[in-house]
Structure 1
Amino acid sequence: MQPRPNSHLLRQGRFSERGRAYLITAVVHQRHQVFTDWQLGRLLVAELRRAHEQEWVNSIAWVVMPDHFHWLVQLEQCDLAQLMQSIKSRSTLTINQALRREGAFWQTGYHDRAIRDGEELLPFARYIVANPLRAGLVDKIGDYPLWDACWL
C-alpha cells in the first residue's frame, strides 16, 4: 500500500472545540465497498449511536455510503481526535470480527469541516442524506437503509 502523499498533513493544525458542529468524512481502507452489505453498515451505525448516547456528540445527520461515511455532529464531551479514534477503532474491531479478518479497515486520517457560528445546519444535513441519490444508489432516499437525521 502506498501512503497518500499528503495524508500526514491532515493532523497538522487541527483544532476542535466543544459545542461546535463539524461535518466529518472517513473512508474505508483502499475504498473497498464493504457497506454494500447493509448489515456491516449497521455495525458502524451502532458506534455512531453509541457516541451520541454517551453524550460525546449531538448527532445531527449521517449517511453510510459503500466505502465511506459522512457525519454531521456537534461536539459535546470530547474532541474530534478522541471521537474519531474511538469510532474508527471500535468499528474496525466489530466489522473485522464480522468479516473474520484482521488488519486495517479505515484509511488513515479523516476529513472535517467546522461549521461557522450562524451557519445553518440544514443544508449540510441535506447534502449528507442526499449522497445515495447523487451516487445513483437509489431513486428515493427512503429506499436507502443507512442514513438518519435528527429532524425526522
Structure 2
Amino acid sequence: MPHRSGHKALRTGRVSLPSQVYLLTVVTQRRRKLFADAAMAAAASRFMVHPDCWGDAQLLAWVLMPDHWHGLVQLGYRDDLSLVMNRMKAVVSRKLGLEHGPGTIWARGFHDRAMRQEDDLRAAARYIVANPVRAGMVSHACDYPYWDCVWL
C-alpha cells in the first residue's frame, strides 16, 4: 500500500458509526493563532455550541485553543462524521465572517479517534479541557473561558 500523507491520510480507514464517540481535532489554516484574540475566541465558542453545528450529533466536551479545537462528539444516526465536522467548520466560519470579516478559518480535514467501549469518556473530557493547563496558559482549567463539558 502506498504511503499517504496530508489530508488524504486523515481519511484513510475512517468510519462513521451511529452513536460512536470520537475524539476530534481541527486546526486553523496554517496554524494561525486566530483564537488568541479574545473577541474571536468568544464568538467562535458561542457559535460552535449552537445546534446548527451538530445536527443529530452531540457535543460532549470541547476546548478552543489559539490555533486548534479539540472535541468529544457522539454521532447520531443521520449524519456521518465528515458531514458533522464539515458543517461545524462551515457554520463557525460563516458566522465569524459576518462578525469579523471573511477569511479562511480552518485547515482542510480533521483528525479523529474512535473511542473504545473500555475508554473512560470522562477521563477523555478531562484531558480535553485540561489542554490550556498543559499548554501553560492557565493554572486551572476553570480559569480558561473557551471550553465546556456535559459532565459538569
Consecutive unaligned residues of structure 2, counting only runs of 5 or more, are: none
CA displacement at 1:55 relative to structure 2: 5.0
Query: How far did 1:16 drift?
Result: 0.9
Q: Distance in 2 between matches of 1:55 and 1:82?
A: 9
Distance 1:39 1:56, change over 3 A: farther
Q: Specify every segment of 5 or more residues in structure 1 that has no aligned partner in the other structure, as ranges.
A: none
Deviations 1:103-128 (A, max 9, x none): x2211110000001232101110110
After superposition, where does 1:2-151 map in structure 2 within 5 Å? 5-51=5-51, 56-76=56-76, 77-102=78-103, 104-151=104-151
2:94 partner letter: L
**TM-score for the superposition, normalised by structure 1:** 0.87
Q: Is the 8 A contact 2:23 2:71 kept in 1?
A: yes
How much identity, in percent, do the aligned residues show? 37
- Quote how far apart the aligned CAs of 1:54 are: 6.0
Cα distance in 2 for residues equivalent to 1:115 and 1:75: 12
User: 1: CA distance between counterparts of 2:105 and 2:55?
Assistant: 25
Comparing 29-38 and 123-132, the one that deviates more: 29-38
Residue-by-residue CA offset, 1:61-101 (whole Å, 9 max, x unaligned): 10000000000011113211110110111111122333323
Say which SS state the counterpart of residue 58 (structure 2) adopts: strand
**Cα deviation digits, residues 27-71 of structure 1 (max 9, x gap):** 000111111123322333334322488652222110000000000
Q: Number of aligned residue pairs: give it.
A: 147
